[in-house]
Amino acid sequence: MDMLIDWFLTAHECHMNKLQNAAVAYLTVYHQKEYIAEYGDGEVPNPRPAAERLNRGHGGFRTTPHQRILNAQFSISCVRGVEKVEA
């Protein structure tokens, strides 16, 4: 668990976004179960499992700003030529 948390905090690879979302979902569910077991009655509410949340579009987690920029760059179908560059 410590290694997963260390990796999540230090990883900045843009192509690892879905894996990081899965790690966040896992850590959230893991923490929820520990918290309920320690402070609650032991019953963990689970209206939607983490796998279902991850399969819905962006999974409920926002992408990082640099990931949104990369997605915008690669989603452009055609790029117009630059006619004039002003300094």
Question: Tokens standing for 57?
Answer: 């579009």
Question: Tokens standing for 41?
Answer: 């009655």
**Which pTM was predicted?**
0.30
Mean pLDDT is highest, among 2-6, 52-56, 61-65, 77-81, for: 2-6
Which sequence spans correspond to the domains of the chain? 2-75
| pLDDT, mean over the chain | 63
Question: Tokens standing for 7?
Answer: 């990796």
Question: Tokens standing for 16?
Answer: 């690892």
Query: For residue range 32-64, what is the model confidence (pLDDT) as tens digits?
Result: 777 777 776 656 555 566 655 555 555 445 555
pLDDT at 28: 80
DSSP-based three-state secondary structure for 12: coil
More confident residue, 64 or 8: 8
